[in-house]
Every structure is written in structure tokens, then in C-alpha cells.
Structure 1
Amino acid sequence: MTERPLRILTLATLFPNAVQPNFGIFVERQTAGLAAIEGMDVTVINPIAIPPWPLRLASRYRPLSVVPDQEHWRGLHVYRPRFQVIPKFGGPYNPAMIARAILPLVRRLHTEKPFDLIDAEFFYPDGPAAMRLSDALGIPFTIKARGADIHHWGSAKGCASQILAAADKAAGLLAVSAALKQDMAVLGMDAGKIMVHYTGLDQSRFTPQNRGAAKQKLGINAPLILSVGALIPRKNQALLIQALPALPDVHLMLAGQGDSETDYRRLAEKLQVASRLHFAGSVAHDDLPGLYAAADIMALVSKSEGLANAWVEALACGTRIIATNVGGAPELIRSPDAGRIVDGDPTAIVAAAKELLTNPIPQNQVAAQVAHFSWDNNARALAAFFRRLIKR
């Protein structure tokens, strides 16, 4: 008799849709990889936050009205129920609002085809919401920590206590780096329950290309530093702009959007480097390999990280990285072939950039640093983790 599949309910507030195709794309890739493994039956619930009227008419929320309540999305069956959120002030209430909004749907699906496990893909608000679903259905749950969910929400008033309660009740926990696992333990979580689960990578797409040809497509004929990430204070791109005056031939490209863009433009004008600063905006994930290929360096000097996917992707494309000593950076930059870890100041960035630009190495030598990253390895590790927890 063939054993029935392991039925997983993946709860993910971070998940792409037609309006936000890059939002949580790594959750999507991980989930698709898990669903492709024999014996895994995965259903995705992606709660979408919508504020009350008239706030829902704001440009940030209005386009979400076209997102269907359920759909087949890149091979996955995804439900997208709405829950009410109060922008800027609703953080402590979001887990309860999510659970209340989606519990009727979850009960119905569980009655039709019982789930074995709830998989929460972001520690907050997904984790405490999953805890509530677990209590209601009587099935175990796990939570994955990715970085900001611990570093920001783990100290936020009204949220930290919920995070610790969910961690305590969870059957198992995951962290995207060993450093993040340590941060979780410092908060008071049981380190024995936490498995380090590194991100995956599509090695067929993120691979070395001809750098000169890639630069030509961008219209840049100079050394290029690329930074991939939201333009927000935590990502700290201001340090890279402040380094430019001491790197007179170097151009900097920022790939991402965010509230800090206006400040960064003003800073570049003040430092007289605006002609060498390029804003790429939000770049489709499928278009990132071309940017990584064109860059001589990928710099991400954040104030905090878990394990940045941009680090892994850049290395796979043969581009060395500059990173601050945060999160899993030391777990990736274990050799000079991968890049440099620097202090969070422009002088250190300048020194590292000059060293890397002066001493280039073959791209394949750089890419070898992350040869073990793949979505297949990622999915198989996750499937084994789930099977161990429920003894299947």
C-alpha cells in the first residue's frame, strides 16, 4: 500500500502575485521545490493585507484589488484571502487579524483533505498566526526566520512576546543562517529546535557571463559597483554613495525601490557624484543575472541581514561581494575569492573596493564559492526536516 503524501499548509504573507512579482520570490521558489518532491502535497495560503476604507484607495493598496482570491500560480495552488491591517500601527494585531480572516478557509480545506503540518514562512506575523491555526486544528507547525522578522519584530513592542510564544509552541524552527540561529537563541528560543536552512539558487540562470558585453548593454564603460536591495535605511546604501568621491572612476547602481531614494539623490548631488549614480528601480528577478554580470562588485552593507539572497546570486554570477559583518556574511565570505567583509564606514568600503578592482580573479573561481547552493538541495533539506518532525 502506497503511503499517502505529507500534506503541508504553507502560510506566507511574503509571496509574489501579478501586482508584486518580486515580493517573496524566494518563498515561492522554495515552496515550488518542496511541492516537486515525491510524497509532498503543498497548499499555499498567502494572506494579503488591506486597510479599511478609505486607506485602501492609496496607490500602494489599490492595485491589489485585481489579485484573485485563489489561483494556480507557477504550478502552485495559492489562496489569497484578505485581512484588515492598520498601516504603521497594526503590527501587534496582525497575527490575530490573519488567523481570524483565514480560519474558515483553513477549516474547510482541512476537512476536505487534512493537513499534517503548518509551515509559516516568515516569523512575524506568520508564526503567531500559524500558532493560532495550530491550536484550532490540533496539528503541529513550524516557522522559518529570514532576518528582518527577528531583528525588527523581535524587539517591537507588542510583537516580541508573540514571537517567543510561537517559538515555544512550534514543533520546529528554521533559520537562513547560523548567525540568525544564534540571534534567535539570544532572544530566548530553544536552539535545539532550530535547523539552519540556507537559501536555494537557480544555477542555470545565475551563472558567469561576459562582463564587457553585460556592461555594454547597460551603456556603462567603467568599473561598476551594484547594490541590490530596497532603498531603506537598514540597507544603508548611503555608505556606498559616500564612498564614491574616493573612487573617481567607479559607477554605482542601486537596484531597488524605497523611501530613501530622494535622500540618496540629494546626497549624490551634494557630493557631486550624481553622474556616476544610477537608479535601476525595481528589477524583475529574471533580469538580475544581467546586472550581476555587468558588476565588478556587488556591495550590500546593511545594518542587519539573515543571509541575503543577493549575496548568493552575485557570487554565482562570478561577482565578488562587499558586505558588513552582519548575519550570514561570514558564512559566505570564507575566502578572499568571495569578497571582503568591512566595517560600516565609507573608508573601509573604499579600501575593499580598490583592492577587489585592482586584483580581479576569474569569474568561475568566484562562482565556485556557492556551487553547493541549489533549490533542489534546499527543498530536500526542508522535506527531510518536516518528515523528522512528524515521523514520516
Structure 2
Amino acid sequence: MTLNVLMLSTLFPDMSRPNFGVFVERQARELATRPDAHVTVVAPVGMPPWPLSNAARYAPLRALPRKERWKDMTVYRPIFRIIPKFGGRTNVGSMTRAILPLIRRLHAERPFDVIDASFFFPDGPVAQRLSRALGIPYSVKARGADIHYWGARRGTRSMVRRAADGAAGLLAVSGAMKRSMAKMGIDDDKIRVHYTGVDLDRFEIADRPAAKAALGFEGPVVLCVGALIPRKGQDLLVRALPLLPDVTLLMAGQGQYRRTLEKLAEELGVDRRIGFLGSVPHDRLPRVYAAADVMALVSSSEGLANAWVEALACGTPIVVSDVGGARELVDRREAGRIVEREPEAIAAAISDILNNPPDQAAVRETALRFTWQANGDALLDHLQGIAGNGAD
């Protein structure tokens, strides 16, 4: 019997944001390849009310089709209203009202068996409301900021808790994330650890000197992959750079924090050794990982960063802070180092790896357990297990 899955995700790529939630898309695609699963993706798009919606920054979102075939999946992109900077808790009601008519129509045409919410907020509370309306169970996956940020804010913490309590099953990207959820009072008996996957055919070992030459770099290269936001800790990498002579720091990602980082680099006199790559298309990231001797990401919080796993799959060791599932990945010296979030410790760890580089094949070995097939098998088993359990 085919399981009909409604996948709800505010974190899903589109033509204007090809890297936005690409790991959610890849998980959805993997599940959709299973003959005993049918997947319909609803990826709501937040838009402020008129006249704010006419701003140039929203033009790419206004141009998106409301329904399309996206990499062999049917994806619906209904619009819901947001209040920029102040929305937060209002997004749950706004999104529910906007998408419920569509969901009811789709459910009438082909009844859904289960709702899979890909992010805890606002997706989780919305899934809870849809579950009540349709009378079917739902699952929610915790990825990082949805628990560490929205689960800690006074205005949204209770919504996250209620969504967790009402779910028939829960997923966490790491064992550390599961423990964080349990500390919030969420029943850990219903939480299943569900690791991300990595495309081992695309993210693979390549000749590092040749990769550096192709990008025009010489000498040691440290790469940071992540949005340019304070939480990711790129400022600490910039501050570590004066302690790392001849090292080039590459940053793949975009965000308004770039201006702060550029100013800091100028003040420290290392601006000529930093390259801002912007938002690198996901299918081009392996080339960048291949050129790096180290991938460093010293975030203040994470679930289990996809960049960690992708770097390891390319044979590139990582330097990361002790957050999220870091210890579940860096479980041997070849994988890299876990460091304190301060420049001296970061520089020391990077220097140690540069002076004693591990074998690339040994580094890649640490990532071989993170396959999309394993991810898809676990997700299908999880959803089949809760289908038929009814709504809360």
C-alpha cells in the first residue's frame, strides 16, 4: 500500500533561492523515489502585505509559480502574510489560514496518510492544526535553530512544545538535538535520531593542488560554508587569521553580516587573505571543498550542519565548535578538531591539521554512514510507523 505523504516545509528551494533548504529538498526527493511512497510538497512563501510586498526584494518571490514540477516532484507554493521583523508567532495562524483550503482540496482528491513537517517552527504548529482539520497524524523534524531559537523565545516556546506533544512521532538531526529537546520537556521516547545524508558520488575526493589551481589559490586554504550571520561565528575565523600566516580564508555564503566581516578584516590587516564567494550553487560546492585544507565552522549553535558532512565526504577535515552533533561526527582524529569558540584555539587547531594533514580517504571514511539512501529508509519507516495513529 502506497503511503501518501504531505510534506510541509517553509525551508525549500525555489528558482530565486536555489540553495535555500536544499537538504530538505534532497530528503524529499529521496523519499519520493520509493515505490511505496507518494510525496506532495507544500512550501508556503511568506510575503508582507501590500504595499510592502511591492518592494524589489520580494519581486523574485512574487514571480514564483504557485504550483510546479520541481525535480520530479509536485510542489505547491501558496502565499501567506508575514509581518517583517515582528511576525514570528503570527506566522502560524497566517500560514494555516492561507494553505488550509489548498490542503483540504488535495486531501479530497487523494487522502493523505501522514503530514511530515520539515522544520519545527512555524511548520510544526501549522502541521498540528492541519492534523486536526484532516484527522491524520503528523511528524516534525528538529534541525537546529527551530529548537535553539524558536523553542527558547517566550512568544513561540509554548507553540513548539504543543506541536511536539501533539505529534505522533518526532525526528532530530542528531543525538545532541534529541537531548536538547528532552531538556525542554519533550518526550524523548517519541524522538528518533534521523541523520542527514550526503551525495557520496558528488561530494568525493579530488586532487587538492589541482582544485586550488582551478580557483586561483596558492598555499593553505581554510573554507567556511554557511550563511553570513553572527551565529555562524565567521568573525572568530577572521580574528584567528592573523595567527595563521599565509593562510587564505574562503567564505561560501551570503548575508548582511558580510559588511561587518569586511570591516573587521581591514582593521586586522587580513582583508587580502579573505575571499567572499557569495552563495555558491550546491552542485558547485564539491569543487570548493576540494580546494580546502580545512573546513571551519565555529557556530554558537547547530543541529548537525550539512557542511560538516559534505566536507568530510570530500576528504577535508573540519574544525568545529562543541555544538549540536559535532561529537557524533568528529569521533576520530582524522575527522578534525572540536574547539573552544575563541581565536587562539581555532588557530591552533587549524595549524595542527595543516602541519599534520590526515589521509583524505581516512577523512572520507567518517562520512560514509551518512547516505541519502539510509536517510530515506529511516524516514519512510518512521512515517509508516505513525500513519494511522490519528490526530491529537
TM-score range, shorter chain: over 0.9
Is 1:160 the counterpart of 2:157? The answer is yes
Correspondence for 2:133: 136
Correspondence for 1:45: 42
Correspondence for 1:362: 359
Correspondence for 1:195: 192
For the 8 Å contact 2:334–2:359, the answer to whether it is kept is: no
Matches within 5 A, 1:205-244: 205-244=202-241
Is 1:388 the counterpart of 2:376? The answer is no
Matches within 5 A, 1:332-351: 332-351=329-348
Equivalent residue of 2:56, what SS? coil
Whole-angstrom distance in 2 between the partners of 1:31 and 1:54: 34
For the 8 Å contact 2:18–2:281, the answer to whether it is kept is: yes
Structure 1 residue 367: Cα displacement: 0.2
Whole-angstrom distance in 2 between the partners of 1:109 and 1:53: 28
Correspondence for 2:145: 148
Deviations 1:241-264 (A, max 9, x none): 000111111010011011210010
Whole-angstrom distance in 2 between the partners of 1:135 and 1:295: 49
Whole-angstrom distance in 1 between the partners of 2:136 and 2:388: 13
Structure 1 residue 342: Cα displacement: 0.2
Structure 1 residue 391: Cα displacement: 6.3
Correspondence for 1:77: 74
Letter in 2 for 1:177: S
The one of 7, 10, 20 aligned to 2:7: 10
Structure 1 residue 61: Cα displacement: 1.4
Equivalent residue of 1:86, what SS? coil
Structure 1 residue 372: Cα displacement: 1.3
Q: TM (normalized to structure 2)?
A: 0.98
Matches within 5 A, 1:303-342: 303-342=300-339
Letter in 2 for 1:169: G
Correspondence for 1:29: 26
Identity %: 56
Report the aligned-residue RMSD.
0.9
Whole-angstrom distance in 2 between the partners of 1:183 and 1:103: 31
Whole-angstrom distance in 2 between the partners of 1:78 and 1:230: 25
Deviations 1:356-390 (A, max 9, x none): 00001221111001111111110010001111112
Structure 1 residue 60: Cα displacement: 2.7
Letter in 2 for 1:343: E
Letter in 2 for 1:142: S
The one of 346, 368, 373 aligned to 2:370: 373
Correspondence for 2:53: 56
Structure number with higher relative contact order (C-alpha < 8 Å, ≥ 6 residues apart): 2
- List alignment gaps of at least 5 residues for structure 1: none
For the 8 Å contact 2:9–2:118, the answer to whether it is kept is: yes
Letter in 2 for 1:124: F
Q: TM (normalized to structure 1)?
A: 0.98
Correspondence for 2:292: 295
Letter in 1 for 2:385: R
Structure 1 residue 59: Cα displacement: 3.3
Correspondence for 1:265: 262
Structure 1 residue 291: Cα displacement: 0.5
Equivalent residue of 1:150, what SS? helix
For the 8 Å contact 1:92–1:157, the answer to whether it is kept is: no
For the 8 Å contact 2:113–2:388, the answer to whether it is kept is: no
Structure 1 residue 217: Cα displacement: 1.2
Whole-angstrom distance in 1 between the partners of 2:106 and 2:65: 18
- List alignment gaps of at least 5 residues for structure 2: none
Equivalent residue of 2:250, what SS? strand
The one of 124, 136, 157 aligned to 2:121: 124
The one of 113, 128, 136 aligned to 2:110: 113
Is 1:275 the counterpart of 2:268? The answer is no
For the 8 Å contact 1:46–1:80, the answer to whether it is kept is: yes
**Stretches of 4+ moved more than 4 A in 1?**
none
Letter in 2 for 1:82: I
Correspondence for 1:286: 283
Correspondence for 1:177: 174
For the 8 Å contact 1:118–1:130, the answer to whether it is kept is: yes
Equivalent residue of 1:337, what SS? helix
Structure 1 residue 58: Cα displacement: 2.6
Deviations 1:320-339 (A, max 9, x none): 00000000000000000000
Structure 1 residue 157: Cα displacement: 2.5
For the 8 Å contact 2:127–2:138, the answer to whether it is kept is: yes
Deviations 1:10-55 (A, max 9, x none): 0000001111111111010000100111210110000000101122
Whole-angstrom distance in 2 between the partners of 1:297 and 1:166: 39
Equivalent residue of 2:362, what SS? helix
Equivalent residue of 1:278, what SS? strand
For the 8 Å contact 2:137–2:388, the answer to whether it is kept is: no
The one of 86, 93, 104 aligned to 2:83: 86
Correspondence for 2:98: 101
